[in-house]
Amino acid sequence: MTSARLLAAGPVKLRAQSLQTCRDRHVHNVLGCSNQQRNSTLRWGRRPATKVQAVSEELVDSVASNGAHNGNGTVPHTATIKQSTLSVHAGESGGRCKVADSLTTPICCTSTYYFQDTAELIAYQEGRYGSYEYGRYGNPTTRVVEEKIRELEGAEDCLVSSSGMNAATTMLLALVPAGGHIITTTDCYRRTRQFIQTVLPKMGVTATVLDPADMGALEQALEEHDVSVYFSESPTNPYLRCVDVPRIAELCHAKNTPICIDGTFATPINQRAIDLGADLVLHSGTKYLAGHNDVLAGAICGKSDLIAQIRAMHNVLGGTLDPHAAYLMLRGMKTLGLRVEHQNKTALEIAKRLERHPKIERVHYPGLPSHPDHHIAKEQMKGFGGVVSFEVRGDLWTTAKFVDGVRIPYIAPSLGGVETLIEQPTVISYWDQGPEKRAAYGIKDNLIRYSCGIEDIENLWDDISQSLEQI
C-alpha cells in the first residue's frame, strides 16, 4: 500500500493493516527457549491475533453462538455467557497479538503460560515447541535482560535473579556439593562472607580465605583440597583489590576448578572477566547495571553447562526477578556506557585530588599507581570504576563528622547509581561487630567508601573540600 493510499485509508484501515501484519509475522527467535526450541518451531508467532473490538451485544451473541475459546477448548454452544465470564475472557481468549512493533521491550506480567492442547504441551516438554511454562522458570521480559547481559559479558548464557546475593548463594549451592571446598578472598562483601562462613558449613563445606594477590597460597589450597569453585570479587569491596584473573584461571583450570568473578564494581564496560579466563561472572544488578537506585536484581553469566546447573537450582529456590524490575534494568542498561564512562572519570580525578589532600591518610583506588593492584587493573580494565575508598586522618567520630558534613551525597549502603552515595563501613555495615572483629576483617574506623554518581565533578569536589575543612 502506498503512502497516499495509507493516508486515505484512515485510522480504521491502518489498524486493520497493523493487525494483519501482526498476524503474518512469525517470531523465529523465542527468547528464553533453548536453541533446539527456537529452531524447531515457528508456532510461537502463529497464534491468531485478537481483533480489538468493544464488548457489545453482537459480541455476546457471537460468543454465545460460536463458543468462547479458552485455554482448553471452547465453551459449549448451549452455555449462556455471563458478564463475569466475559470480563475474564473477552478480547483475549481468541489469541493475543505478539507485539513486535514496540520500540521498547514490553513488560510481560504473567505468572503462568497456557497451551492450546495436550499435544502442544508435550511438544514443549520435548523441546519441539518454543514457549514458557511458569513464571519462576522464565519470562519474555527477563529473558531480554539475560540476553543483553550475556552479550555485554561475552558469555554463553545468563540467568537473572531477585538480587546479587540471590545470584551468589544460588551459584554456590548449585556448584558446591556437601563436603565441598571453596576458595575465596579476604576483602569481600560482608553478606557473602557470612554465607560462606555460617551457612555452608552446615553442609560440611569448608573454605580457604586468601589475600587476593597470594598466588602461592592459591596453589597450595588447590593441591590440598578438591576445590569446587574459586569465587572472588574484582575489584573487591571496600578496598578495591583486583585479582589476576588469567593467572588464577591457569592455576584453577589445571585442577578442573571453575572460577566465578563478581564483576559488580567493574561492570562489563570496564572489564570482561570471561575474556580473561573466568568461567562465570556475577553482578549485583542493583548497582551499575540498573543504575538508578530503584531496582533489586542479580545476574550470573558464563558457560552454558554451569548456568544450566545454577538455573536448575534457581528454579527450586525461587528468587525470580519481577518483570517490572527487569524492564527497569533494561531501561538502565541503555545508558550503562555513558554513566560508567562519566563515573570512571569522576572517581579517578577525585582519587588523585584526595591523595594530595593533607587531611587524607590513604586512598584506595585501582587507577592510582599507589594501589597494590594497579598493575593488574591496568592490564584487565578499560576504566577503574566509580567507587573511591579513602581513610580520613582522624578517629571514628572525626570521620563521621566528615560524612555528616558533605551536602551532595546521600548516606546510604549501595553504589553505582546516578546519585553519589557515601558511607562509613564501620557504622553502616559493621557496627554490630565490635572493634576487634572489625579489625580482623580489616575494616578501619576512619574508612570512607564514596560512590560517584553522574553529578558535575567540580560540584562534588567542592563539597568534599568544604567538609574536610570542618574536621
Residue 440: predicted pLDDT? 85
Q: What percentage of residues in the chain have a pLDDT greater than 90?
A: 73
Residue 88: predicted pLDDT? 73
Which of 189, 288, 430, 450 is catalytic? The answer is 189
Residue 100: predicted pLDDT? 72
pLDDT band at residue 39 using 50, 70 and 90 as cut-offs: very low
Least confident of 35-49, 138-152, 321-335: 35-49
Q: What is the pLDDT of residues 76-92, one digit of tens each?
A: 444 588 877 776 777 76
Least confident of 84-88, 200-204, 298-302, 412-416: 84-88
Q: Can you tell me the mean pLDDT for 14-38?
A: 38
Residue 94: predicted pLDDT? 67
Cell 584506595, located at residue: 364
pLDDT band at residue 233 using 50, 70 and 90 as cut-offs: very high
More confident residue, 373 or 55: 373
Q: What is the pLDDT of residues 380-402, one digit of tens each?
A: 999 999 999 999 999 999 999 99
Cell 528464553, located at residue: 32
8 Å CB contact between 232 and 214: no
Residue environment code for 324-344, b if the CB has 16+ CB neighbours within 10 A, otherwise e: ebbbbbbbbbeebeebbebbb
Q: How do beta strands 298-302 and 157-161 pair?
A: antiparallel
pTM of the model: 0.82
Catalytic (active site) residue 5: no
Least confident of 77-81, 146-150, 264-268: 77-81
Q: What is the pLDDT of residues 400-450, one digit of tens each?
A: 999 999 999 999 999 999 999 999 999 998 888 888 888 888 899 999 999
Catalytic (active site) residue 287: yes
Decide: helix, strand or coil at residue 364.
strand
For 37-110, list the strands marked E by DSSP.
Answer: 69-70, 73-74
Q: What span, in angstroms and rounded, lies between the C-alpha atoms of 308 and 110?
A: 23
pLDDT band at residue 97 using 50, 70 and 90 as cut-offs: low
8 Å CB contact between 282 and 230: no
Q: Is the pLDDT of residue 113 over 50?
A: yes
The phi, psi pair for 10, rounded to 5°, reads 85, 170
Which of 287, 311, 339, 449 is catalytic? The answer is 287
Which of 157, 187, 262, 322 is catalytic? The answer is 262
Mean pLDDT, the chain, as a whole number?
85
Q: Is the pLDDT of residue 212 over 60?
A: yes
- The continuous run of DSSP H or E covering 207 comes out as strand 206-210
Catalytic (active site) residue 143: no
Least confident of 30-34, 104-108, 232-236, 342-346: 30-34
Q: Can you tell me the mean pLDDT for 157-169?
A: 97
Decide: helix, strand or coil at residue 93.
coil
Q: What span, in angstroms and rounded, lies between the C-alpha atoms of 363 and 368?
A: 9
- The continuous run of DSSP H or E covering 125 comes out as helix 118-125
Least confident of 29-33, 173-177, 438-442: 29-33
pLDDT band at residue 2 using 50, 70 and 90 as cut-offs: very low
82, exposed or middle or buried, with CB in 10 Å at 0-12, 13-18, 19+?
exposed
Residue 458: predicted pLDDT? 98
Q: Is the pLDDT of residue 51 over 50?
A: no
Q: Is the pLDDT of residue 19 over 70?
A: no
Residue 435: predicted pLDDT? 87
Catalytic (active site) residue 262: yes
8 Å CB contact between 219 and 251: yes
Residue 419: predicted pLDDT? 98
Q: Is the pLDDT of residue 208 over 90?
A: yes
Q: What percentage of residues in the chain have a pLDDT greater than 70?
A: 81
Q: What is the pLDDT of residues 337-366, one digit of tens each?
A: 999 999 999 999 999 999 999 999 999 999
Q: What is the pLDDT of residues 53-73, one digit of tens each?
A: 333 344 334 434 444 444 444
Q: Is the pLDDT of residue 106 over 60?
A: yes
Residue 190: predicted pLDDT? 86
Least confident of 21-35, 72-86, 155-169, 276-290: 21-35
280, exposed or middle or buried, with CB in 10 Å at 0-12, 13-18, 19+?
buried
Which of 23, 25, 136, 193 is catalytic? The answer is 136
Residue 32: predicted pLDDT? 41
Residue 69: predicted pLDDT? 43
Least confident of 17-26, 87-96, 167-176, 440-449: 17-26
Handedness of CA 255, 376, 197, 281 (dihedral sign): negative
